[in-house]
Amino acid sequence: MWMKIRVLTSVVALSIASFAQPLTLLTPINSKMPSGSEFRAVDSAGKIYGGTVITRPARRFLRRGSVLLRFYDPVHMVNNDPEGVIRAGRKKQLIFLGTTPLIAKIADDSVDGAIGGGKARFVALGASILFMAIIKGGEVHLKPGDKLEVEAGR
């Protein structure tokens, strides 16, 4: 009888502990911060959680920035990424990919009369490739007050 109660109690305790709980971020975080910077977050009960960030800033060719939050307490992030990495959205990438033909058209039209139509196409191609090589991807920006979903344990 007591064995069944202990097993039932441990199963209930584990199931309660595995539910995701929201944390409110207290410090701003972005992917331009140096790795190892500290952050703080608070839960609804008022307990403060701390940790460090591992960042990767945005790079050339539209590579997005990312942030990984390492908590001091035994909690981990719950998001779509299995490793808990927060990545920048693809909005900036889509906007720049959409404006690349516009830049190519402007470069083509600006040199069309001077060097001819055939050579102007190569200038347009070069301008669009140069634009894509220079532009960086999106950065991750988390503001104080943003919600983070975490689970206990692990």
Q: Which residues of the chain have pLDDT under 50?
A: 2-17
Q: What is the pTM assigned to this prediction?
A: 0.67
pLDDT of residue 4: 45
User: Which one, of 23, 21, 25, 54, lies nearest residue 40 by Cα?
Assistant: 25
Beta-carbon-side half-sphere exposure of residue 52 (alpha carbons within 13 Å): 5
Environment class of residue 69 by beta-carbon count within 10 Å: exposed (0-12), middle (13-18) or buried (19+)? buried
- Give the single-character DSSP code of 129: H
Question: Looking up tokens 């516009």, which residue turns up?
Answer: 102
Residue ranges covered by each domain of the chain: 20-88+137-152, 93-133
Q: 151, 19 in Cβ contact below 8 A?
A: yes
